[in-house]
Amino acid sequence: MIDALEQAEAAVAACFDTPAWAASERDLVAALDAAHRIEQRLAAVKLTLVRELDGRGTATAQGASSTAVWLRDRLRLGVGAARRLVELATALDAAPAGVRDALAGGAVDVEQVRVIAATVETVHTAAGTEAADKAVSVLVEWAAQFDAALLRRLGTRILDHIAPEVADAAADAALRAQESRAARDRHVTISEQTDGRLRLCGILDTEAAAALRAAIDPLATPTGPDDSRTPGQRRHDALADVCRLALRTGELPENGGDVAQVVVTTGYDGLTRQLGTPALDTGLHLSADAVRRLACDAAILPAVLGGAGQPLDVGRQRRLISGPLRRALVLRDRGCAFPGCDRPPRWRDAHHIHHWADGGDTSLNNAVLLCGHHHRHLHHSDWKVQLSGDGHPEFIPPAWLDPDHLPRRNHYHRRN
């Protein structure tokens, strides 16, 4: 084994010394595929060695507290990476032979192995050994097309393919378990900082997460090309807007209410001339300018707020595909429809297949959801988009990429 690895190392070193610029694009792509296969084969060898050393107790025999700690020092890894290496070695050792062979053959990568092993274990528990064996072959086949993240999502419905008679019951049990975990783990922690700011962190369950995204996403979009706020700052401001909107409803419990119940003590002259240091009822201070902002919702200063109208203005700027039509488009495409893109529907662009300027109508049959990058790419490249017979978008690659112009679809947003 050592001789073979030394020969492989020498061969890889020779490849590194070969100038890549002299190769054709076709040869570069073929070399990339080969390098990736070799990388996975080496990963299989490495994990086999780690598992054997772990089983022999080599680490503790050499004075380390664990194999992960020994690997950290031996291979100069971070402790997290070393632990994951031991976990992967254990998972590969317990995985069915078909999974180990697929990794050794370069057909899957180590993250896909982790997903396949976990999915097969779930299938074995729900449907038995025969179904688990079928799952291995199906998942290895899927791994040739999909990365680990999408493979995990597809694996949640694998029983539909290999054991439909138990799929519904297993899916229902998994969903109940997921909801139970979400209910158990939900929490929000509010930590007050010394300067009056709050540190907010937590985990939301599925329903609360959907409600939060629905509430803050429309308010967190950039207001225009001059909006210099970071995404985190926009989400912060959107959350504050949602709280203000809730306070204005007058429907909160008695300890809630409108914005004016935040008590600020200041003189009228100081308010109008922006002088002095007004104080909150918590003892902290605000600038006079901040108090003027708060007073816009109280009875001190009459004001016509522009903030409430801004989302409508933004909506009118997206007038071509909006409202119920956009919701229907999101339900159909579920994210950027360009092949290989996993970006979700939030803040995606609605593109006219037959351009509006060329007489295209605004309808679901003439629209496709794209992220900003692929929207620009489609406008400035030879890619074409059309709706297939089943009403879903498919993309025609340019001749230089595929002379046969075979249509391609996005598989990341499939429902099952």
Amino acid occupying residue 20: A
Section 209-230 average pLDDT: 83
Q: What is the four-CA torsion angle of 295, 301, 306, 312, rounded to 10 degrees?
A: 90
Q: How far apart (Å, rounded) are the C-alpha atoms in residues 407 and 334?
A: 19
Do residues 246 and 262 touch, judged by C-beta distance below 8 A?
no
- Residue 112 pLDDT grade (very low, low, confident, very high; cuts 50, 70, 90): confident
Q: Beta-strand (E) ranges in 162-318?
A: 187-192, 198-203, 264-265, 279-280
Percentage above 70 pLDDT, the chain? 78
Section 216-241 average pLDDT: 85
Q: How far apart (Å, rounded) are the C-alpha atoms in residues 359 and 362?
A: 10
| Better-predicted residue by pLDDT, 129 or 57 | 57
Residues 6+ apart with CB under 8 A from 72: 78, 79, 82
Q: What would the DSSP string read from start to end of 334-392?
A: -S--STT----STTPEEEESS-GGGT---SGGGEEEE-HHHHHHHHTSS-EEEE-TTS-
Do residues 350 and 367 touch, judged by C-beta distance below 8 A?
yes
Q: What is the four-CA torsion angle of 41, 46, 48, 50, rounded to 10 degrees?
A: -170
Section 175-183 average pLDDT: 75
Domain ranges of the chain: 2-161, 262-317, 319-396
- Residue 71 pLDDT grade (very low, low, confident, very high; cuts 50, 70, 90): very high
Q: What is the mean pLDDT of the chain?
A: 77
Section 364-378 average pLDDT: 84
pLDDT at 259 over 50: no
Q: How far apart (Å, rounded) are the C-alpha atoms in residues 217 and 234?
A: 9
